[in-house]
Amino acid sequence: MQMEKGKIYDYNTVPTPCFVVEEELLKKNLEILKNVIDRTGCHILLAQKCFSMYHTYPLLSKYLSGTTASGLYEAKLGKEYFGKETHVYSAAYRDDEIDELLDICDHIVFNSFSQWNRFKDKAKKKDIKCGLRINPKCSTQEGHAIYDPCAPYSRMGITNENFDRENLEGISGLHFHTLCEQNSDDLLTTIKSVKEQFSDVLKEMEWINFGGGHHITRKDYDIECLVDCINEMKEEYGLEVYLEPGEAVALDAGFMISTVLDIVSNGIDIAIVDTSAACHMPDVIEMPYTPQLAEAVRIVAAGGETYDKDLSVKSMMEEQETFKLYRIGGPTCLAGDVIGDYIFDRDLKIGDRLTFKDMAIYSMVKTNTFNGMRLPAIAYKDKEGIKIIKKFGYEDFKNRL
C-alpha cells in the first residue's frame, strides 16, 4: 500500500498498529557511536538483523562505517541503500548465492573450515577480505541460552581445538560474537579468553570483528572500557577493529502505537489491543520480557512484584484504589499472546492509544502474519511530524503464501 503523500500525523492520529521511529532519538545514539569511532579509529557497522529500516540509512551512513548482513538479502539491502562497507556472516552459505555475495560484499566471514574449503577458490579471485568466526567458549550471559553463541554444543564459530592453523592462506581476519545486550566488562572478559586461545593467530591477521551485542548507547554502559579494549587490540596486534551493534543504533528510538479494541474480565481486567506479541513483538514471548509502556504507572514483573522493588502489586491495589491493574494481550487465537501486566492510574477504555517503548529493534524485522494479522505500518518522526513510510494490507499477507 502506498503512503499518503505529504500527510503529517501525530501519536493520536497515526493508524494503528504502527511502528514510529524518531529521528532525534536515532541521532542521540549515533553521536555516541561516532564518538567511539573518533576516539579509536574503529569501524562500527549497523547489524541489519536488528534494524533494517532503510528509510533511515541516509542518516545512519553519515555516522557509521557500513552494514553487516546475515545473508544475501540483507547484504543487497545494505549495499543498495546504505553503501560504504558491506559485511556478511552466515552459519552456512548457499551454493546458488555465494557468487552474488562475493560480488557485493567487502568482507565475508565463514563459520567453519568446511565452508572456507568449499568456497575459498572463488573468494580468492575476488577483491574481498575473508575471515573466520571463532568460538572462544566464553559464556558471559545468564539465563538466555537461546542467545548465547558460546553455549554448549553451539553451531556458531570454530573452537580452538578445531581451529586448523595450517589452512589460513587467504584469511585476513577473525570474528567473534559472544554478547547480547551486555556491557563492556563482558567484552573485556571475552577478549581475554580470545587472546589466551588465539593470540598466535591474531599476530597473523589484519583485522578483528568484535561482533554485536554491545549496548553502547545504554545509560550505564562503560564506554571508557570499550575504548580501552579497542585500542589495546589495535596496539598489541596492529589490527583494524570492527564492531557490529544493532540494538545500540536504534535503542529506545522507536515505539509501537496500538489501540484498545476490547476490555474483558476473568479474575483480572484484560485489555485486548490491535498489537500482537506473537506477530509484532515476538521477543516478548521468546526472551521472554515485558516491554515498557508509556501510559502505565508501573510494569508488573514475574512473581507479582513491580519494578518498584519496595511496592508489591497487592499492596498497591489495597492502599491506592486509583491504581488499576490490566493484562494487555493481542487478538490472535494463541492463548499465550500476552504482552504483559501493567498498572495504570486510570481506567482503560475501548479506543485508548497505548505506546510501547523501544520497539525499533528486532520487533520490526521479526513481524509475521500468523492468523492473518495486519502488519504494523512503519512511520518516521522528524522535525515536521510523523510521516507514514509504508502501510501493509491483504496483498502483503497473501503474497507470502
Bridging pattern class, strands 85-90 and 66-69: parallel
CATH classification of the domain holding 51: 3.20.20.10
What integer pLDDT is reported at residue 309 of this predicted model? Answer: 35
Is residue 170 located within the same domain as residue 191? yes
Is residue 154 located within the same domain as residue 185? yes
Among candidate residues 333, 351, 369, the one where a domain is terminated: 351
CATH classification of the domain holding 286: 2.40.37.10
Is residue 72 located within the same domain as residue 33? yes
Is residue 327 located within the same domain as residue 298? yes
**236 domain-assigned:** yes
**274 domain-assigned:** yes
The whole domain housing 81 covers 23-250
| Gap between the Cα atoms of 223 and 250, Å rounded | 17
Among candidate residues 184, 216, 250, the one where a domain is terminated: 250
What integer pLDDT is reported at residue 300 of this predicted model? Answer: 86
Is residue 220 located within the same domain as residue 286? no
Is residue 283 located within the same domain as residue 179? no
Is residue 205 located within the same domain as residue 270? no
Q: In a structure prediction context, what are the per-residue pLDDT tens digits for the chain, which is 401 residues long?
A: 444 656 999 999 999 999 999 999 999 999 999 999 999 999 999 999 999 999 999 999 999 999 999 999 999 999 999 999 999 999 999 999 999 999 999 999 999 999 999 999 999 999 999 999 999 999 998 767 888 999 999 999 999 999 999 999 999 999 999 999 999 999 999 999 999 999 999 999 999 999 999 999 999 999 999 999 999 999 999 999 999 999 999 999 999 999 999 999 999 999 999 999 999 999 999 988 999 999 999 888 644 444 443 345 555 555 556 789 999 999 999 999 999 999 999 999 999 999 999 999 999 999 999 999 999 999 999 999 999 999 999 999 999 99
- Amino acid type, 8: I
| Gap between the Cα atoms of 34 and 60, Å rounded | 10
**377 domain-assigned:** no
**358 domain-assigned:** no
What is the CB neighbour count within 10 angstroms for residue 223?
A: 16
Question: Which residues are registered as beta bridge partners of 257?
Answer: 18, 355
Is residue 192 located within the same domain as residue 88? yes
Is residue 82 located within the same domain as residue 223? yes
What integer pLDDT is reported at residue 144 of this predicted model? Answer: 73
Is residue 125 located within the same domain as residue 51? yes
**12 domain-assigned:** no
| Gap between the Cα atoms of 48 and 344, Å rounded | 35
Is residue 343 located within the same domain as residue 224? no
Is residue 292 located within the same domain as residue 339? yes
**97 domain-assigned:** yes
**46 domain-assigned:** yes
What integer pLDDT is reported at residue 314 of this predicted model? Answer: 55
What is the domain count for the chain?
A: 2
**119 domain-assigned:** yes
